[in-house]
């Protein structure tokens, strides 16, 4: 997620002991369990009845249109969900880097001005689970990596939930969500209300609705019209022409193994190592560790330098951008019977736009951070992506727009 003034959201969630947290990007919180979640969620009858073989034809599912948040560059795509009885509508980012839902509540008031706020008293199916927490984020929404003004006060609640004709029965996994009761001002620029996480363990959400656990995502950049699409329970095969290439998940999340990186067809020994990346639709660009980022930048231009005013960012004179080839190929491991393959981030993604405080300097697409490494929308908007939970794999084909 990306506001005009911030960057990749690293959620450093200070949660109670029942929650297992991990640093994620954008509005992120990874939960291993929440009250009411079945202990053996992967052994449910739904999974046994509906799990597909990897060779089965792709199902069609049901789709939700997405809107591009453009603020000088493509920042994030978002769509609609509804919660409660009768339904209350919200716009959210569909985020593969997290597994929970956060939307503003009425208690947020002026702190959430401009965002729709859920009214518990207007829903006959609302349940207050009596758990409160504070979530601290590295950034709010944007392409800048560090912001100290991104904090949410939240309460865990439950209600009916619908998206793209999926309806969760009361008490099901995804009827639990965080109600935002207060937030710092860093979130105010966001044109969307909240976030819906779709982690790689979301089997129940799909199976409870009677669909296979698979979804497709299309992100169309502003210069191509800006419309995107989320297809739940299936894939929109009209959005791509080439065969899908799959890479297996290496852990129970959207992590893939990369065996090498090339820049303009060149590489170095430091770029030919195994790395694990979280493929995250809630991250705008790339977040890598410093050695990897510097190795890539060294093959693009020696003029790319760190911006001390915004630690973790790098930039280059804006008037040099158009002269620089900067195609980045990420090699991914293939599934059994399929070779490794490359995904390409084209040179057009090199610049994330001018820095606000240094308009002559354009921010480059890789931010630096310790810990997990993320691949985000700089890559996704050039591919149709298939997130196959049942078969624990992630597929890509060049999009057809």
Give me the catalytic one of 26, 280, 388, 390.
280
Whole-angstrom distance, CA of residue 92 vs CA of residue 177: 13
Q: Which of 182, 171, 219, 176 is nearest to 196 (CA)?
A: 176
On the question of pLDDT at 136 being above 90, the answer is no
Residue 95 appears among annotated catalytic residues: yes
Query: Percentage of residues in the chain with pLDDT exceeding 70?
Result: 82
Query: Rounded to whole angstroms, what are the CA distances from 305 to 159, 297, 362, 367, 380?
Result: 49, 9, 10, 12, 26
Return the percentage of the chain with pLDDT > 90, whole number.
61
What is the mean pLDDT of the segment spanning 167-187?
Answer: 76
**How far apart are alpha carbons 274 and 253 in whole angstroms?**
18
Q: Are 11 and 25 in contact (CB under 8 A)?
A: yes
329 is catalytic: no
SS3 state at 204 = helix
Average pLDDT over residues 359-378: 93
Residue 138 has pLDDT above 50, yes or no: yes
If you average pLDDT over residues 198-221, what whole number do you get?
91
Question: What is the β-pairing status of strands 60-70 and 11-14?
Answer: unpaired
Retrieve residue 233's tokens. 């329970």
b/e sequence 89-118, b meaning 16+ C-beta within 10 Å: ebbbbbbbbbbbbbbbbebbeebbeebebb
Tell me which of 54 and 374 has the higher pLDDT.
Answer: 374
Cα angle 191-196-198, degrees, rounded to a multiple of 5: 140
Q: 384 falls in which pLDDT band (50, 70, 90)? A: very high
Which listed residue (95, 208, 236, 388) is catalytic? Answer: 95
Give me the DSSP letters along 297-316: HHTT-TT-EE-TTSTT-EEE
The stretch 112-140 carries a mean pLDDT of 88
CATH 3.30.1390.20 fits 11-234, yes or no: no
Q: Is the peptide bond before 127 cis (omega within 30 degrees of 0)?
A: no
pLDDT digits (tens, 9 = 90+) for 31-89: 223 333 343 433 443 444 445 677 777 888 889 999 999 988 898 999 999 999 999 99
Query: pLDDT digits over 12-44, tens only?
Result: 222 222 222 222 334 333 322 333 334 343 344
CATH for 238-398, options being 3.40.50.880, 3.40.50.2300, 2.40.70.10, 1.20.1740.10: 2.40.70.10
Quick one: 278 exposed, middle or buried, by C-beta within 10 A (0-12, 13-18, 19+)? Answer: buried
pTM equals 0.86
| Sequence spans of domains, the chain | 11-234, 238-398
pLDDT 10s digits, 285-295 = 999 999 999 99
11-234 with 238-398: one CATH topology?
A: yes
**What mean pLDDT, rounded, does the chain reach?**
83
Mean pLDDT of 265-272: 96
């Amino acid at each position: 997620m990306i506001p005009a003034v911030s960057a990749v959201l690293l959620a450093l969630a200070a949660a109670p002991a029942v929650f297992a947290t991990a640093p994620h990007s954008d509005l992120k919180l990874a939960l291993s369990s929440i009250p009411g979640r079945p202990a053996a969620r992967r052994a449910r009858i739904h999974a046994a009845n509906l799990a597909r073989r990897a060779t089965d034809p792709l199902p069609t599912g049901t789709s939700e249109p997405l809107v591009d948040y453009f603020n000088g560059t493509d920042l994030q795509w978002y769509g609609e969900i509804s919660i409660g009885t009768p339904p209350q509508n919200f716009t959210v980012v569909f985020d593969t880097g997290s597994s929970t839902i956060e939307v503003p509540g009425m208690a947020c008031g002026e702190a959430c001005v401009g965002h729709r706020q859920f009214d518990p008293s207007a829903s006959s199916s609302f349940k207050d689970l009596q758990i409160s927490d504070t979530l601290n984020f590295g950034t709010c929404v944007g392409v800048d990596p560090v912001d100290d003004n991104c904090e949410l006060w939240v309460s865990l609640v439950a209600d009916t939930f619908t998206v793209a004709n999926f309806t969760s029965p009361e008490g099901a996994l995804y009827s639990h969500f965080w109600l935002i009761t207060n937030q710092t001002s860093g979130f105010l620029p966001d044109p969307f209300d909240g976030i819906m996480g779709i982690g790689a363990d979301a089997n129940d959400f799909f199976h409870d609705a009677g669909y296979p656990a698979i979804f497709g995502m299309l992100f169309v950049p502003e210069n191509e019209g800006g419309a995107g699409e989320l297809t739940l329970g299936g894939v929109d095969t009209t959005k791509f022409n080439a065969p899908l290439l799959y890479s297996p998940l290496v852990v129970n999340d959207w992590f893939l193994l990369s065996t090498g990186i090339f820049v303009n067809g060149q590489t170095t020994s430091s770029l030919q190592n195994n790395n694990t990346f979280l493929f995250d639709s809630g991250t705008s660009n790339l977040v890598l560790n410093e050695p990897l980022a510097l190795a890539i930048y060294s093959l693009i231009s020696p003029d790319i330098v760190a911006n001390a005013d915004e630690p973790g960012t790098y930039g280059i004179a804006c008037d040099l951008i158009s002269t620089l080839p900067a195609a980045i190929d990420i090699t991914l491991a293939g599934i059994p019977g399929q070779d490794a393959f490359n995904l390409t981030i084209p040179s057009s993604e090199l610049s994330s736009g001018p820095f606000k405080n240094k308009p002559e300097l354009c921010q480059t697409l890789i931010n630096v951070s310790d810990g997990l490494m993320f691949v985000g929308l700089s890559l996704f908007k050039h591919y149709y992506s298939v997130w196959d939970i049942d078969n624990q794999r992630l597929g890509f084909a060049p999009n057809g727009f």
